Structure 1
Amino acid sequence: MNAVTIKDVATRAGVSPATASRVLSGNPSTSAESRELVERAVRELDFRPNAQARALRSTRSDTVGLLVSDVRNPFFADLAHTIEQALLELGYVTLLGNANENQQQQDRYLDTLISRRVDGVIVAPQGTDSASIEALLAREVPTVFVDRTVPGLDVPSVTTDSGPGIRAAVRHLAELGHTRVGYIAGPQSVSTGRERLESWTAAIAEQGLSDDPALVHVGDFQSASGSAAVHAFLSLDQPPTAILAADSLMAVGAIAMLHRLDLRIGRDVAVVAFDDIEWFSLIDPALTVISHSVEDMGATAVALLQEVISGGRPESVTLVSELVIRASSSSPVPTPPRSLGRN
């Protein structure tokens, strides 16, 4: 009697050999109906797959792709470390990519990860329209979004609700007496940039602070745009007495420019940053921040991906943000900091 083959199983189940193979290898992309048909055919035919051949054909690579927005950003560096360590404990090797806040660079990495047949992908997406992200989903590569999302795409994600932290920061500055606060916004092409600007706009309206459009500078989540924002703010006839930066790298650029202009943080200008990177608490003065847990975000992203790889459809998770008050935020000085045009 000839040995039963996978083609025999596929014929009995009424599916293609490829589908039968995916079911037998545990691939989560197969439908419940296909799995039931193949499993019944296996029982009826008493099919016993050859273990060695099954291992050679396995689609599992024990690798996961991780694509962060910018490896120079301390928040994403910490996030990548958290995710990599959690994946390693589960037996996965992490292939790390750096999008550099650029959609074309993101897509190049994603195309490579697809070709390498990774078991899953965790990505902080760039922009709102990516053919490579669409290709990931079309190929049913288990995918999780981290920190950011893409409108219209039903992908499990772990993000932060920026609203509570931003409202608390604006309320804190208002209570100190600030009425003109400069906001360094992130790019509006990504979800965090849009959501934080929306939260900022609502918060200053609630507190009755100036809504002068010149007090909002749209940056790109990189340090140079933080420096450019400070330069623009201090060129105004009425410069802001406080500045809030929507991410850590733009805050770093803002701090560098303030130092270059010999303005004292916490005395001449109050400064608040989104993201609590380790050294923000160590500089003098220590920086007031809007904090959210990078450890929780990384651990949750890995847990969600595990569930997707296993064939589940987990709900997205939203973490909370909170204000951590330190010495960099203080009451405004009697006269506002000088503009660049007045020495």
Structure 2
Amino acid sequence: MSKITIKDVAAAAGVSVGTASMAINNSPRISAQTKHLVLDTVTRLNYRPNPYARSFSLSSSNTIGFLVPDLLNSFFGEMAGYLQKEVERRGKALMFGLTNESSKQEAKLTHQFIDRGIDGLIIVPVIENKPDLSHIYKLQEDNFPFVFISSYYKHISANCVMTDLYKGSYDLTLELLDSGHRYIILISGNPHLVPFAERIRGFIQAHKDRHIPFSENQIITTLSMSFQGGYDAIRKVYFARKIDAILAINDVMAMGIIGSLRACGVRIPEDVSVAGYDDISIAGLQETPLSTVHQPLDEMSRIAVDMLFRHIEGDTTITKPICLKPTLILRKSSTKE
């Protein structure tokens, strides 16, 4: 009969190898229920740990995992740079994982990272319509250190740092309304997901506060938040309506919208104003510099890393999402002067 391994214990208990190892070594990160389950399995299988093997709980890997949905959008690339700087300043390394907006891939990478002994996890939530979040609930159950950055999953109680998406959208919409725009459309994603719901709410409230009529068909939803997504989405609506301003859910989409309209002979901003969100580094370097909302990625990253390290050190306090103040950045894409 072959020797029972830690992998056999993990499989029989229905947990990851990292979780099984931490439970065996009485890590404070693991819940009492999970420890009991793993130790019962150890007894049942007659598992004998290797006394020379160092467990994940006893020996820090000095590595932090970072799960990000899309590195083609430079907003996330810039975020990764700030996070890496903050993590390295604390003597650790940052390990990247690309989820491609898939909760299944997010779960897979989460398990792989924990099996490699990471000390904590920073997560940008995916924007999948109905994500399977069983892996996130498992992190909570095991008290594994993690934080959300830029958004969060509804009904998940965890530390998070982000920008006040509602206020950013509200301020930008109000600016356009006050400058004379009367039919503005917002290109967004699923209105039931946090990053879109908050910006839609700000968009609608700005119309209400200025007593300007608003209709639901001013919100256009699309599945792709990419350059191509913006390029394709705008052609379905622009030439069918009298539109004088377009807001995109991010800068990359806004650039796609501008490219699509210009290809059809539409002038920016003479015929229509366009604005994005995020203020990525190239937003002000376009042929027509892009109006947008600045998200303070440096401060966001610093706070996220601080929260994560406090959890790693034993502080399991959960606070409401920290919402940083956004800044309106007005450039030539939305001004007719």
Shorter-chain TM-score category? 0.7 to 0.9
The equivalent residue for 2:54 is: 56
The equivalent residue for 2:111 is: 111
Whichever residue aligns with residue 93 of structure 2, its letter is V
Is contact 2:120–2:146 with CA below 8 Å preserved after alignment? yes
Whichever residue aligns with residue 310 of structure 2, its letter is E
Q: Is 1:227 matched with 2:238?
A: no
Deviation at residue 21 of structure 1 after TM alignment: 4.6
The equivalent residue for 2:244 is: 241
Secondary structure, aligned partner of 2:276: strand
The equivalent residue for 2:6 is: none
Secondary structure, aligned partner of 2:323: strand
The equivalent residue for 1:273 is: 276
Q: 1:173 to 1:195 in 2, by over 3 A?
A: same
TM-score normalised according to structure 2 size = 0.79
TM-score normalised according to structure 1 size = 0.78
Is contact 2:30–2:141 with CA below 8 Å preserved after alignment? no
Is contact 2:158–2:318 with CA below 8 Å preserved after alignment? no
Structure 1 distance, partners of 2:284, 2:65, is 32
Q: Is 1:256 matched with 2:283?
A: no
Q: 1:239 to 1:62 in 2, by over 3 A?
A: same
Is contact 1:148–1:190 with CA below 8 Å preserved after alignment? no
Whichever residue aligns with residue 74 of structure 2, its letter is P
Secondary structure, aligned partner of 1:230: helix
Is contact 1:271–1:287 with CA below 8 Å preserved after alignment? yes
Q: 1:22 to 1:91 in 2, by over 3 A?
A: farther
The equivalent residue for 2:333 is: 328
The equivalent residue for 1:88 is: 88
Is contact 2:168–2:202 with CA below 8 Å preserved after alignment? no
Instruction: Give RMSD over aligned pairs.
Output: 2.5
Q: Is 1:78 matched with 2:81?
A: no
Q: 1:59 to 1:187 in 2, by over 3 A?
A: farther
Structure 2 distance, partners of 1:61, 1:209, is 56
Alpha-carbon deviations, 1:183-236, whole Å to 9, x = none? Answer: 111333531112111221222222234423332111232222212221122131
Q: Is 1:173 matched with 2:176?
A: yes
Among candidates 186, 209, 214, match of residue 189 of structure 2 = 186
Is contact 2:168–2:199 with CA below 8 Å preserved after alignment? no
Structure 2 distance, partners of 1:201, 1:129, is 30
Alpha-carbon deviations, 1:61-100, whole Å to 9, x = none? Answer: 1111100121111111110111012111212221101122
Deviation at residue 314 of structure 1 after TM alignment: 5.3
Secondary structure, aligned partner of 2:293: strand
Deviation at residue 159 of structure 1 after TM alignment: 1.3
Structure 1 distance, partners of 2:101, 2:255, is 17
Q: Is 1:302 matched with 2:300?
A: no
Q: 1:152-163 counterparts in 2 under 5 A?
A: 152-163=155-166
Aligned residues: 291
Whichever residue aligns with residue 247 of structure 1, its letter is N
Alpha-carbon deviations, 1:32-87, whole Å to 9, x = none? Answer: xxxxxxxxxxxxxxxxxxxxx89934242111110012111111111011101211
Structure 2 distance, partners of 1:144, 1:133, is 11
Is contact 1:184–1:218 with CA below 8 Å preserved after alignment? yes
Secondary structure, aligned partner of 1:250: helix
Structure 2 distance, partners of 1:30, 1:105, is 25
Secondary structure, aligned partner of 1:235: helix
The equivalent residue for 2:13 is: none
Give 5+ residue unaligned stretches, structure 1: 1-17, 32-52, 333-343
Q: 1:209 to 1:240 in 2, by over 3 A?
A: farther
Secondary structure, aligned partner of 1:311: coil
Indicate the percent of aligned positions where both proteins have the same amino acid: 25
Q: 1:185 to 1:240 in 2, by over 3 A?
A: same
